[in-house]
Amino acid sequence: MANVFLVDLEAVSTRYTGEWKTHVPALLKKAGHNVQIISGPEDIPSATTPGAFLNFGGTNIYKSSQVEQMGRLFCNGSVHPGDHFIFTDAWHPGIINLKYMSELLGIPVTTHGLWHAGSYDPQDFLGRLVGKKKWVRNAEKSFYHAFDHNYFATYFHINMFSDNLFHDEIVELEDGKVIRTGWPMEYMDEILAPYKCTKRDLILFPHRIAPEKQVEIFRDLAKQLPQYEFVVCQDQQLSKDEYHTLLGQSKIVFSANLQETLGISCYEGTLVDAIPMVPDRLSYSEMYHEGFKYPSEWTESFEKYEAYRDHLRHHIITTMTHYDKRVEQVQTQAEDLTEQFFSAGKLLEHIR
């Protein structure tokens, strides 16, 4: 089996990156690979930049340390032809350093990158604040070409990446350069199983408070439907255990998102029998069964929401009223999501 160097993501306790610290190495070892983890320092700033997944300064401290470690691995003879390097975040300048060493030293390795976001995503921080500046667009193109295999969790993400970054250039899916694979989250079902419990009339907004999540729609719905309890998770300083407890008690997990390349929180809801209520757009269109998607135009903007507010109110009331009849459908949806979007089978197939 292959020797695998895992260039990991810094762990944020409230995000999935915490579990990835242990689960991804265990998954690779279970498949028979020899795994060496390349992590950064633990004393980087721990608070995420508001609305983001990571600390914009701290992540560069972390990645710079990983680049140094990779350099030392090449210098001391630990890297051999045929080894694999997996970057759990493809937006990592260190892939350029790695290719520089691999090719100039004549040590061919296979590189893998998991794409989460970038400037090609108009709703991401890079897309909003940096946009189409040449330095970032050309950097992302270089990262893409440096990876032998580029992994995306949904076809929606692949199409956005291709259309916005490469335009008329061809992004190849046939030769393994681009791969649609589930994310390595097989552990979620086991983690959340203990949180299944008696439900209450609770509707949850589990997303980040960021412009593309449209939390103002959810807050207005709370005023329109006072008979139900509405909770915006990021309004509270929740531990992961407290967050999972709320998931287990909720009947609906709601989204009005204007951007979503995967959507982990709605999946988490299905694992504890919460009904996902998502717009028929973005990654949701390919991921969710028809009964869980409402018409996209209902929440395309706050103005559109105001025009369709009565439709959405009625939809929520009907869903809450008939919750018990939907549980089996939710469980079937959860099984499909686990198989197609939250297991890393195709990623493992390319590590040989």
Assess whether pLDDT exceeds 70 at residue 52. Answer: no
State the architecture of 188-340 in CATH terms: 3-Layer(aba) Sandwich (3.40)
pLDDT bracket for residue 50 (50, 70, 90): low
pLDDT of residue 123: 86
pLDDT of residue 206: 96
Which amino acid type is present at position 80? H
* CA separation for the pair 164, 162 (Å, rounded): 6
Averaged pLDDT score across all residues of the chain: 93
Assess whether pLDDT exceeds 80 at residue 195. Answer: yes
Give mean pLDDT, residues 18-46. 89
Percent of the chain with pLDDT over 90: 81
pLDDT tens figures, 239-251: 989 999 999 999 9
* CA separation for the pair 195, 175 (Å, rounded): 42
- Cα–Cα distance list, 328 to 119, 280, 289 (Å): 39, 21, 13
Give mean pLDDT, residues 332-343. 96
Separation of first and last alpha carbons in the chain: 6
* CA separation for the pair 153, 90 (Å, rounded): 13
* CA separation for the pair 331, 322 (Å, rounded): 15
Q: Measuring CA to CA, which residue among 254, 264, 263, 268 is closest to residue 189?
A: 268
Least confident of 101-115, 143-157, 158-172, 241-255: 158-172
HSE-up of 253 (CA within 13 Å, CB side)? 24
Give mean pLDDT, residues 141-147. 96
Give mean pLDDT, residues 151-157. 96
pLDDT of residue 2: 74
Q: Do domains 3-184+343-349 and 188-340 have the same CATH topology?
A: yes
Domain locations in the chain as residue ranges: 3-184+343-349, 188-340
Fold for the domain defined by 3-184+343-349: Rossmann fold (3.40.50)
Top mean pLDDT of 36-50, 174-188, 267-281 is at 267-281
pLDDT of residue 176: 87
227: helix, coil or strand? coil
Top mean pLDDT of 34-48, 160-174, 298-312 is at 298-312
* CA separation for the pair 151, 158 (Å, rounded): 9
Q: In this predicted model, which residue has the larger pLDDT, 97 or 346?
A: 97
3-state percent helix, strand, coil for the chain, nearest multiple of 5: 50, 10, 40
pLDDT of residue 118: 96
Assess whether pLDDT exceeds 60 at residue 350. Answer: yes
326: helix, coil or strand? helix
Assess whether pLDDT exceeds 80 at residue 173. Answer: no
